[in-house]
Amino acid sequence: MTTAIRKPIGTTARTGETCPESGVWQAQSTPSTTAPIAKGNRMPPYGGVAVTWKLIRYA
């Protein structure tokens, strides 16, 4: 059995990219928000625009 290595807290992903790790992600924008996003899903836009998301907590 292999254990998957998690991406570190602080990992970033842009809108439209594939989510690299399931967890709570924070939009790096003003205003900001958080969202639970599952690994393999597309990173969403926030407020109708592309943003960078940062992993702040594992799922």
- Cβ-in-10-Å burial (0-12, 13-18, 19+) of 23 comes to buried
Question: At a CB cut-off of 8 Å and minimum separation 6, what does 11 contact?
Answer: 20, 21, 54, 55
Q: What is the pLDDT of residue 1?
A: 66
Share of the chain above pLDDT 90, in %: 93
Q: What is the pLDDT of residue 4?
A: 76
Q: What average pLDDT does the structure give for the chain? A: 96
- Tens-place pLDDT, residues 46-59: 999 999 999 999 99
State the DSSP code for 48: T
> Is 12 a residue whose pLDDT tops 70?
yes
Mean pLDDT in residue range 30-39: 97
CA atoms of 4 and 40, how far apart (whole Å): 14
